[in-house]
Amino acid sequence: MSDQVFCYYCRRYHPTGDVKLVCSKGVKRWRCVKSLEQVHGSIAERDAFGKSVSASNRAGKVWQDTRPLPLPVLELLGSRSDYSEGLA
């Protein structure tokens, strides 16, 4: 058996001693102790955390939108005139 368990909340693997089995929406899932402790923080701390995650997600989306298509995809789309017009 693995000594690492996947936490559905933070989407990372943790040692088995650092997670607890919780029931969420009728389903049992593993959740790390750190995330369970953060629930008891103040509303301001939770809002600050949520805003930082949102900013991180937005930055990731901007990066994803600006990266170029891989060369094989460009070659495939470039060989068809009907697709190349839609990219411009």
- How confident is the model over 76-87, as a mean pLDDT? 58
| Chain centroid offset of residue 61 CA | 11
- pLDDT recorded at residue 84: 46
- How confident is the model over 51-64, as a mean pLDDT? 81
CA–CA dist 88, 77 (Å, integer): 12
CA–CA dist 12, 6 (Å, integer): 6
- How confident is the model over 39-63, as a mean pLDDT? 82
Kindly tell me if the per-residue pLDDT of 1 is higher than 60. Answer: no
Name the CA radius of gyration of the chain, rounded: 21
Q: Which residue has the higher pLDDT, 84 or 4?
A: 4
Phi, psi of 26 (to 5 degrees): 80, 5
